[in-house]
Chains A and B, each alone.
Chain A
Amino acid sequence: MRRVLLGALGVVMVAPFLYMMSVSFMGEGELLRWPPALLPASPTTGNYAAAFQALSYTRVLLNTAILAGCVMVGQVLTSAAAGYAFARMRFPGRDRIWTSLLAMLAIPAIVLLIPRYLIIDALGWVDTYPGLISTELVSVWGIFLMRQTFVMLPRDVEDAARLDGAGEWTLFWRVALPLARPAVGAVAVLAFMDQWRNFLWPLVVTRTPRMEVAEVALAHFHTAYAANWPYQMAAAVLVTLPALVVCLLAQRYVMQGVRFTGARVRL
């Protein structure tokens, strides 16, 4: 009984996606009939070929990958370094700085959107990779997570490494960071997924199709081909697919990220 419930819920979750796939193989008119077709009468891959072209899929995918990849690396490095300093080093004002850092979590991204745009504009970075990427390179949540992790690492191991002749840098890079691998994975996957689906910022800061990321391109595609659902579904499948692969590969980390963020989707 309970298993059925779980299974039913699973089906509810997956069904729209399956429907998306199904529609993406249909001909243009098939959705305009009643009852709407559930399965394509004569499956065609033409939609994909067309969407691939119209989206300039490779370019857009490359942009998204550059954005997500750079931000991922950036956030992992800055979060780990800052988290390590807060967890493991003593310096004047540390606790006060930590508190104010946490207070920064209270500043919502939407408040920062316009001033950030103006700054990027002033730097002449609108519609460039630096403009797309630079604002996202640090995540306070990431720092928080890394500090949490480093605080819990056994101190003795670190002291042992000091005696073994490790300097601060070796300590961080060769001892603490490998021990914090699960957290690093969580921060990385979280950053990657968030940027893969980041919409508002890329929408604001890019101008030309050359710089668009997948989400923005898909939204524009939608405006351009409003009535042709199979077309749009094909594009949607193309854009979703890479993220899906990541999810399957890094399911554990994705789950960790979902838990850490309190299960939110930035709709």
Chain B
Amino acid sequence: MASVTIRRLSKVFDGGVQALHELDLEVRDGELLVLLGPSGSGKTTVLRCVAGLEEPTTGDVVIGERVVTHAPPAERDVAMVFQTPALYPHLTVRDNIAFPLELRSVADAQIARRVLEAAQRLGLESVLDRLPAQLSEGQRQRAALGRAIVRGPQAFLLDEPLSRLDAPLRIELRGELLALHRALGATMIYVTHDQTEAMTMGQRIAVLHEGRLRQVGTPEDVYQRPADVHVARFIGTPGMNVLQGRGRGTGEEGRVIEAGSLIIPVELSTYEGELQLGIRPEFVGLCAVDKGVGNADVLVVEPLGSETLVHLNAGGQSLVARLPGFAEVRVGTRVGVKVDRRRLYLFDAAGAPLA
């Protein structure tokens, strides 16, 4: 196993699309790092650059001690599991798993032993002689994993391996993956756009947005201390409310931020002008009209059982409130809005956090 380091990695595709901007990332030896980001943010591109399937435009990829930026995939000794199982349709599961070993001219007896070992680990013994077309979706993804682990690579690159599975199977396999990680002590980069998955799996999470790395930290870090407005918006279900506001120094209560129909008092001494104000839905509450920081119209009510999500329109700014249990709110009515002033996040107009 080895660490994986990415230095100032940029990738511009032939069409001129810049998928990655100066990415710096270090994955420690034996760590499971989750790469999280919305669709199209460049996650797959990062993995492909690490794997050697794409050549970076600038920057370096280091695996262990070795700079492999321009080495072909075969020389990097990393394994990748794709969004699709990508099994060789014309080979049986056994031959699929054996393929990488065969290419490395491992002795036959050893191949057989290692394939069996991997199959046992993944519960594939009974289907070894089937073709991929004869497997279930979960089995196929397991077989793909088997092909990855059988050669004991320096690092695993997992590109949304579970996204095509249905929910229960996904949870089951997620557990297995974690167990596998622990058992192998493997360095893994796990790509997902599902932030629940990210929060439950990652020792550290790297958040990617529009080809830029926004934050790297523990799940708690990225949730509690988002590095910028994009991270804040993306993490959490639903994500943080972000209101476009304006700081103003008037009023007896000290400084306030006006955002739509809301006037929110803040303890902020230095800032005037355009800014963005973030608040998680669970810290937004409802009250009688004119009793809170402002009024808003109820657009949609989503009762989820344990909680209710209320979508509001406050003078052109939309925000979501998460209320416990079934809340008695009617669509179309006007309500007052409360916020927990200690849980506010302030970002400047460009999205960087204010002190």
Residues of A within 8 A of B (CB): 90, 154, 156-157, 159-167, 170, 175, 178-179, 181
Contacts and interface: CB of A to CB of B under 8 A. Distances in A.
B87 A163 contact: no
Contacts of A90: 14
B84 A154 contact: yes
12 contacts: A154-B86, A157-B86, A157-B89, A159-B51, A160-B88, A163-B78, A164-B100, A164-B151, A166-B74, A170-B103, A175-B88, A181-B90
A112 B199 CA distance: 68
Contacts of B78: 163
Given A157-B87, A162-B73, A163-B51, 20 more contacts: A154-B84, A157-B89, A159-B82, A160-B80, A160-B87, A160-B144, A161-B88, A161-B99, A162-B72, A163-B74, A163-B100, A164-B74, A164-B147, A165-B73, A165-B104, A167-B74, A175-B88, A178-B88, A178-B90, A179-B88
Interface in B93-147: 99-100, 103-104, 144, 147
B82 A162 contact: no
A163 B73 contact: yes
Nearest to A175: B88
A162 B90 contact: no
B4 to A, nearest CB: 14
Q: Name, among B14, B86, B87, B151, the residue most crowded by chain A CB atoms within 10 Å (CB to CB).
A: B86
B53 interface: yes
B92 interface: no
Contacts of A166: 74, 103
Contact of A160 (B48, B74, B82, B104): B82
Interface residues of B, number: 27
Contacts of A162: 51-53, 72-74
B103 A160 contact: no
List 5 tightest A-B contacts by C-beta distance, closest first. A156-B86, A164-B100, A165-B103, A165-B74, A160-B86
A83 to B, nearest CB: 18
Contact of B79 (A157, A163, A170): A163
A178 B90 CA distance: 7
Interface of B: 14, 48, 51-53, 72-74, 76, 78-80, 82-84, 86-90, 99-100, 103-104, 144, 147, 151
A164 B87 contact: no
A159 B53 contact: yes
A51 B79 CA distance: 65
A160 B158 CA distance: 12
Contacts of B82: 156, 159-160
A200 to B, nearest CB: 39
B89 A179 contact: yes
Contact of A156 (B73, B83, B100): B83
Contacts of A157: 86-89
A161 to B, nearest CB: 7
Contacts of A179: 88-90
Contact of B86 (A159, A167, A178, A181): A159
Contacts of B151: 164
B13 to A, nearest CB: 12
Contacts of B86: 154, 156-157, 159-160
Nearest to B14: A90
Nearest to A166: B103
A141 B308 CA distance: 63
Contact of B147 (A156, A159, A160): A160
A165 B104 CA distance: 7
A208 to B, nearest CB: 46
A181 B91 CA distance: 13
Given A156-B82, A160-B80, A160-B147, A165 B100 contact: yes
Nearest to A90: B14
A182 to B, nearest CB: 11
A156 B147 CA distance: 14
A175 B103 CA distance: 12
Nearest to B103: A165
Contacts of A160: 80, 82, 86-88, 144, 147
Contacts of B90: 178-179, 181
A164 B99 contact: yes
Nearest to B144: A160
Interface centre among A90, A154, A164, A166 (most CB of B within 10 A): A164
B192 to A, nearest CB: 17
A72 B52 CA distance: 37
A165 B103 CA distance: 6
A189 B330 CA distance: 71
Contacts of B99: 161, 164
A159 B80 contact: yes
A13 to B, nearest CB: 37
Contacts of A175: 88
Specify which of A90, A160, A165 lies most central, judged by the most chain B CB atoms within 10 Å of its CB: A160
B178 to A, nearest CB: 23
Nearest to A168: B72
A170 B105 CA distance: 13
Interface centre among A159, A165, A166 (most CB of B within 10 A): A165
A154 B90 CA distance: 13
A192 B251 CA distance: 91
Nearest to A155: B86
B148 to A, nearest CB: 8
Contacts of B87: 157, 160
A153 to B, nearest CB: 9
Nearest to B75: A165
A166 B52 CA distance: 13
